[in-house]
Structure 1
């Protein structure tokens, strides 16, 4: 089975962290520690945190972030409509450029196996 673009983004993240982890271990470890602390708060569920991260990823126009956080959100139980709604919140706050990044969001949702939902 051929790799898909969003899966490629995940591999690129792993490769980047591996490369930088060898040449700049203290910086990478500091970032990973910060990320762990920032995501550790108890007020939001893991799914809620990942939906926020999806919205921020779309607003930041980061395909790597979109791939990573959609996958994490799916594993945390997020549904297709929740992910798309998070994306539209980013569009609301960031405008037209964020709308264009709904493309990699939809690609990631499709690649990570969430079916279309039928609107009533």
Structure 2
């Protein structure tokens, strides 16, 4: 999963070089949307985990699982979020619990 995060970083660098205004606008929106507000930043990351599983995006799973753990989310909270995606998206989302579990294991051991 760390490789997925590295790939995200490489993509962002490439886009900063080729489409700086567009990627900066997206990154500004991302930063603003993920701040504490009516919903806490931790709960927003749990929502993002569920959406990442439903969207079947391993990069998004890695990114948002790491963020959720950094914000204090437990393994059970993250798995519950993943199961909300399974509830709404079915069997294909269930298979994306595999990279979700991988991300939890990898990022929980970073200490």
Structure 2: any 5+ residue segments left out of the alignment? Answer: none
Higher helix share: 2
Q: Are residue 67 (structure 1) and residue 76 (structure 2) matched?
A: no
By how many angstroms is 1:107 displaced? 0.3
Distance of 2:31 and 2:76 partners within structure 1: 27
Distance of 2:72 and 2:54 partners within structure 1: 22
Q: Which has the larger radius of gyration?
A: 1
Q: Are residue 42 (structure 1) and residue 34 (structure 2) matched?
A: no
Distance of 2:23 and 2:38 partners within structure 1: 27
TM-score computed with the length of structure 1 as normaliser: 0.87
Runs of 4+ off more than 2 Å: 36-41
Structure 1: any 5+ residue segments left out of the alignment? Answer: 1-5, 115-120
Distance of 2:31 and 2:75 partners within structure 1: 26
By how many angstroms is 1:38 displaced? 2.2
TM-score computed with the length of structure 2 as normaliser: 0.93
Distance of 1:103 and 1:29 partners within structure 2: 32
Query: How many residues align structurally?
Result: 109
Q: SS where residue 72 of structure 2 aligns?
A: coil
